[in-house]
Structure 1
Amino acid sequence: MALLEVQGLQVALQTQRGSARAVRDVSFTLDRGETLGLVGESGCGKSITAMALLGLLPEHAQVSGSIRLDGQELVDLGEPGLRALRGDRIGMVFQEPMTALNPVHTIGDQVAEPLRLHRGMSRAAARQEAIALLERVGIPDARRRVDGYPHQFSGGQRQRITIAMALACGPDLLIADEPTTALDVTVQQQILALIRELVAERGLALLLISHDLGVVAQNVARLLVMYGGSVVESGPTAEVFARRSHPYTLGLFGARPRLGGQRGVRLATIPGTVPELPELPPGCPFAGRCAFTIAACNDTVPPPVPVGPGHQARCIRLDAVAAARQSGVA
């Protein structure tokens, strides 16, 4: 049995234009020590998928399908049960280090809070453990700075503090949602290196959410490419990168800046924009923006089709896409 099993996850959000499906039939598994990435443009459903795992969706959201943690069903578990898991068995690193911390509480109190809540530690014991955690994530002079407030720390240090909070109770699963947002490149690499070290050191399962293909390539063994709330391509990261099969995946790779590229040449772009949730087509969510679109693409959502070892893509025109890729057209 895998640590985390997600089957047929559907999330519908209430909008001013009615119910809109934000996550569509997402399925994956993740075991201890494994790393999985979710990649795609903003608005493709990555963060909503993560929030569904934690039961942190907007009010009136409707969730169906199955989310099992060590065999325990989390869908419809109820707030008390979910609250017992958050910060204990599931740790979360939120995407904005500048706002993820409470500005009116010391960082020591915030790191110690899950220890007192889930482990029943005394204030003094939790404080000592918080200092140790802050030292582990690289906060200099942690014993003195434990009583500091978030505004007294840099963006990179705040992100390290949120990682300490997420790891305080030794979770089985760590979810990192765009953990390098708003950080400069050097600090980004330090934060990602720290997460890799901690995952290896503690045997955690890691779910890493990012729009950055380079970040995903360096940090996860398996990959889900999401668009329009659906997983359009999935598989081992090296396999997906080497044999990009879905037109959306090809578009993401084509839009990357390249070292040594000719000056003044525009980057390739994906035509159009990500549609609003209520405007997603009933068939393939990428229909219309895709150069391979035919009438049948608008009818039904394509099933996942094997294209390599553990590698699947949802597209009814995979042969045409493969031919275009091999000829250098796509």
Structure 2
Amino acid sequence: MSGTDHKPLLEVENLGIQLSTSRGPAQAVREVSFVLKRGETLGLVGESGCGKSITALALMGLLPESAGVSGSIKLDGNELVGLPDADYCKLRGNRISMIFQEPMTALNPMHTIGRQIAEPLRRHKNFSAAQARKEAIALLDRVGLPDAAGRVDAYPHQFSGGQRQRVTIAIALACQPDLLIADEPTTALDVTIQGQILDLIADLVTERGMAMILISHDLGVIAENVRRMMVMYGGTVVESGATDGVFSRMGHPYTQGLFRARPRLGAKKGTRLKTISGTVPELADLPIGCPFADRCPLVESRCRAALPAAIDVGGGHHVRCLRTDVSMAGPAEVLGA
């Protein structure tokens, strides 16, 4: 992809996040590491509660004050863990931006969309009010909002869900960030609008040479929109690698379970979707061993003793599982796919 250079933009090493809950401290994220260069795209996939969004919030410096963060997050070699909020504010919306999951709650109902797009431009780029308004109209036009000049002074409730999502994209892109985080950006949209929004984001990432982290529970969205992916479960990365490589050789039983559970075109009416037995563990109940152990058809006693190390199974494809000798030898047969 154009815009990629050899120097890492984002380096996350052994990230851990501990949250305070009503039941005591909970380790929400464990041992998450990855590197992202300019122009690269990375997908985070997994069920709700697996740690995807909280990892993104850590990158944005938006965790609760009571949260404890260990490990390292570096942007262009500069450490972000422990950075004062005043300094983080200079990065947030400027060098790192985020498209949030639900546009109606991400937008302020009391302010016009033009004012909300103009805010980061005035704060970070010192644009005058007139300059910021002109750029807001240009951004709205770029993200495909009809009659941008005529609607720049409208309020969020006057737009459809797809149009509101385009507005949030315009806000996120206003300062041409180095890193764009898209957290389930199409969840509330119908299938046609989903495709339009994802195509728009992909075009803008390529056009501006940004790095992107796309968070989704949808394997199809990940397969079509990112070069590399990480599968998260129980707050840790259980499988990672080039997207094509992971899909061709799914090595973790959880990844295989997600793949089996996807809807399939051509299935007979009334066909029940396959499911992964059990439920995602609560943060306060995460086991010391493999977090997927209670739902895994291949579990052994040693799986519960300690969190397995990530094993390189070839080509930078890593799997955090002690049973790769079985799961990668014949996952379809083992798991009944």
Q: Give the TM interval when normalised to the shorter protein.
A: over 0.9
Could you tell me which residue of structure 2 aligns to residue 67 of structure 1? 73
Contact kept? 2:253, 2:331, Cα under 8 Å:
no
Residues 110-259 of structure 1 correspond to what in structure 2 (within 5 A)? Answer: 110-259=116-265
2:196 is paired with a residue whose SS is: helix
1:287 to 293, 299, 314: 293
Matched letter for residue 192 of structure 1: L
Q: CA deviation at 1:258?
A: 1.0
Match status 1:28 vs 2:34: yes
TM-score, normalised with respect to structure 1? 0.98
2:116 is paired with a residue whose SS is: helix
Distance 2:148 2:270 in 1: 48
1:50 to 35, 50, 56: 56
Could you tell me which residue of structure 1 aligns to residue 3 of structure 2? none
Q: CA deviation at 1:323?
A: 3.2
Distance 1:232 1:300 in 2: 14
Matched letter for residue 309 of structure 2: P
Matched letter for residue 111 of structure 1: I
Matched letter for residue 217 of structure 1: A
Match status 1:82 vs 2:88: yes
Match status 1:270 vs 2:270: no
Q: CA deviation at 1:262?
A: 3.3
Could you tell me which runs of 5 or more consecutive residues in structure 1 were left unpaired when the two chains were aligned.
none
Distance 2:131 2:332 in 1: 61
2:207 is paired with a residue whose SS is: helix
Alignment RMSD, CA only?
1.0
1:19 to 22, 25, 42: 25
2:47 to 32, 37, 41: 41
TM-score, normalised with respect to structure 2? 0.96
Could you tell me which residue of structure 2 aligns to residue 91 of structure 1? 97
Distance 1:229 1:122 in 2: 43
Distance 2:9 2:92 in 1: 15
Distance 2:235 2:327 in 1: 22
Sequence identity percentage: 67
Matched letter for residue 219 of structure 1: N
1:322 to 312, 318, 328: 328
Distance 2:271 2:136 in 1: 50
Distance 1:107 1:261 in 2: 43
Matched letter for residue 132 of structure 2: A
Matched letter for residue 62 of structure 1: G
Deviations 1:96-131 (A, max 9, x none): 012110000000000000000001111111111111
1:261 to 251, 259, 267: 267
Deviations 1:160-184 (A, max 9, x none): 0000000001100000000001101
Could you tell me which residue of structure 2 aligns to residue 304 of structure 1? 310
Matched letter for residue 232 of structure 2: M
Matched letter for residue 279 of structure 1: D
Distance 2:270 2:306 in 1: 41
Distance 2:252 2:305 in 1: 18
Distance 2:268 2:313 in 1: 33
Q: CA deviation at 1:326?
A: 5.7
Distance 1:251 1:273 in 2: 13
Distance 2:248 2:60 in 1: 33
Deviations 1:202-222 (A, max 9, x none): 000000000000100110000
Matched letter for residue 198 of structure 1: L
